[in-house]
Amino acid sequence: MSEDRKYDLEDRLIEFASRIIDVVESLPNTRAGNYIAGQMIRCGIAPSLLYGEVQGAESRDAFIHKMKIALKELKETRVCVKLIIKKELIKSSEKLNEVRKENEELIAIISKGIDTARKNNQQAKK
């Protein structure tokens, strides 16, 4: 992201989903491009939608579960981006590198959130 970094996770996830849409729309209209586009549109947008569910979680266990699903989707998105780069399905590597970097940062943020929630959950159960 640029100098005006956003620290609100919901905003970052929505911006990430928007970038994923741009990437998907840039993929070639081939069998491989269409297949990856279908997968990527689902897994790349899912974390922002799941975060809405996370905010309404009814328990810590539900919070952790939904965050783990968001993390899984981000990791699937990472594989899609790597494949697009590997096969050079999109020539603009600068745009893809920004998406890849943000993807890694979001994985780290969500992973840390899960770890913290697990620790808090264990302490609360003692």
> Which tens digits make up the pLDDT trace of 78-122?
999 999 999 999 987 788 999 999 999 999 999 999 999 999 988
Highest mean pLDDT among 3-7, 55-59, 94-98, 102-106: 102-106
> How far apart (Å, rounded) are the C-alpha atoms in residues 12 and 72?
17
| Continuous H helices in 27-92 | 31-55, 60-86
Once rounded to an integer, what is the mean pLDDT over residues 37-62? Answer: 95
Per-residue pLDDT for 6 more than 90?
no
Q: What percent of the chain has pLDDT over 90?
A: 84
What pLDDT, on the 0 to 100 scale, is given for residue 62?
94
- Report pTM: 0.89
What pLDDT, on the 0 to 100 scale, is given for residue 3?
46
What pLDDT, on the 0 to 100 scale, is given for residue 7?
64
How far from chain centre, in Å, is Cα 93?
A: 19
Domain at 9-125: CATH code: 1.20.1440.60
